Amino acid sequence: MVLTDVIKRWHVLKGSKAILCTGTDEHGLKVQRAASKAGVEPKLFCDKGAEIFKDLARKAEIANDHFVRTTDTEHKDAVEYAWFLLQEKGLIYEQKHEGWYSVTDECFYPQSGVQPYLDPPTGRKMMTSIETGSEVEWSSEENYHFRLSAFRDNLLEFYKANPEWITPEHRMKEVVHAVESGLEDLSVSRPSDRLTWGIRVPGDDSQTIYVWLDALMNYATKAGYPWAPGREHAGGWPADCHVIGKDIVRFHCIYWPAFLMALGLPLPKKVLTHAHWTLGGSKMSKSTGRVVDPFHALDRFGSDVMRFYMAHDGGIQDDSSYDNHRIIKIYNNFLNQQLGNLVSRVTRGKKWSVRGAVQRIARKPREDWEEGPGSKFWNNSLSTIAPKIDASFDAYDPRKAALLIADFVRGANAFFQMSQPWSKILDFGPGEPGEEVDKIIYLAAEALRMTGILLQPYMPNKANNLLDQLGVQKDRRTFDYCHPGADLDYGEPMIELGVAHKGTLFPPLSSDE
């Protein structure tokens, strides 16, 4: 959710309309069994779960436009409509199905995809998925099937024409290899006497629609599917980007595009797949208690700090290990000592003024920065940071963008420290410390102003607090103003600085808090 929200906010920052959907996938045998174990009806069980995730989204400042629940009536209607179309096209048929089924993963695995496993704590022998490690059970039943095999060539053709469709690259290669190796037709229903919790097959109450055919339709549902003629793109379809975990790549990058092709719908333009958070280098697991409570983390560190940490340290290529000490280190070493410290030194200087520096220096012609004091910082840092961040987001790499922003702040700090404005203040002319000091303060303030703009997708509250301290007008906090010299009218703080931590961007945080 954080990764997607950062991307959404970036597009808004650039002036685009962006729609973010998140939500809960609520049907399936896994949910049915969990509800039974909890001793409640599945719908009540899902109601409680959905509220938890809605609350989590609110606390994490996720700016989602929709919260999809696959139990929503309009979603059910869309799934039934899609089923009718697939059946009409002859792409769904009935057949006996046998295979290894994982309740956890909600999918069948071929014989080559499973292996025997001895559970160390219990000594119990079981069969597990090689791909996910989830337990599988043998299943033999009459099901409806989708002619997935018929889409092998279409999928390979699409992948070839869109070689960067999946990010990162190595997961694209894995998907291509999987499809090249051959596709079996997909079981898309379960007998209702085994799976009661789901959408029934239209016209056949003895079967329940497979959870992944059901769940994947949610993306199109919230874009208005099925569309009235001429309204196909009104809701934003096709999606510019799906953001998913690496464990569900097969469903989103093989099954989903095949379903869309079968329905005659355009495919999403991009699929960003991320790696997982581990704990102490091991997979998080509710059964072993190796988990992180996100609500506790948000209460402890705040949403802005957690969002920045997750974007900065979260793995897209490879798994990342969650670590409270690492969060504290990033807070103390970077947010407090680098960014927060620079803000304090620039905005609270007794012998200079940000507003005065902006008034006296900002209108100087660009040629003045071609050479001389500050020119290197202007040309190599201030003038290049925004295009670099933009390029990172174009490549759907918010982590790289976060790292670049952090490097930019460290560079600004180093520039300020080496320039030593405090040692160059002229004694005469009260309120005017001299052109050399004004230039240093102006360049440092520009670095902070641009940092505030660029950090808004990551840290919406802290970034706006920073821009308030600098006195940047609300309508000048967009990407259009993210280049040196773009704003000539800031410098008067909108809040009182340094009072009871309200005007302190990142107050000291101790490791025992």
Alpha-carbon distance 3 to 372, whole Å?
Answer: 41
Length of the chain counted residue by residue: 513
Burial 175-194 (b: 16+ CB within 10 A, else e): bbeebeeebebbbbbbebee
> Read out DSSP for 244-266?
EEGGGHHIIIIIHHHHHHHHT-P
Residue with tokens 């005469």: 428
Nearest CA to 446 out of 506, 364, 501, 328 is that of 364
Q: What is the pLDDT of residue 335?
A: 96
Secondary structure (3-state) at 273:
strand
Q: What is the pLDDT of residue 513?
A: 43
Count the Cβ atoms, other than its own, within 10 Å of residue 133: 13
Q: Which residues of the chain, if any, have pLDDT below 50? A: 500, 511-513
Q: What is the pLDDT of residue 502?
A: 58
Alpha-carbon distance 79 to 39, whole Å?
Answer: 28
Residue with tokens 């190595």: 170
Which tokens in the block code for residue 133? 């490690």
Residue with tokens 């920065």: 369
Spatial contact of 138 and 97, defined as CB atoms under 8 Å apart = no
Question: Which pLDDT tens digit goes with each residue over 463-504?
Answer: 999 999 999 999 999 999 999 999 999 999 998 886 545 568
Alpha-carbon distance 460 to 206, whole Å?
Answer: 50
Nearest CA to 409 out of 322, 309, 334, 499 is that of 334
Question: Which pLDDT tens digit goes with each residue over 420-446?
Answer: 999 999 876 666 899 999 999 999 999
Residue with tokens 């052109």: 435
pTM: 0.90
**Neighbour-count burial of 507, counting CB atoms closer than 10 A to its CB (0-12 exposed, 13-18 middle, 19+ buried):** exposed
**CATH code for the structural domain at 298-481:** 1.10.730.10
Burial 243-277 (b: 16+ CB within 10 A, else e): bbebebbbbbbbbbbbbbbbbebebbebbbbbbeb
Spatial contact of 460 and 9, defined as CB atoms under 8 Å apart = yes
Secondary structure (3-state) at 462:
helix
Alpha-carbon distance 320 to 246, whole Å?
Answer: 13
Alpha-carbon distance 42 to 47, whole Å?
Answer: 9
Question: Which pLDDT tens digit goes with each residue over 48-91?
Answer: 999 999 999 999 999 999 999 999 999 999 999 999 999 999 99
Alpha-carbon distance 271 to 249, whole Å?
Answer: 9
How many C-alpha atoms does 58 have within 13 Å on its Cβ side?
6
Pairing mode of beta strands 135-146, 125-129:
antiparallel
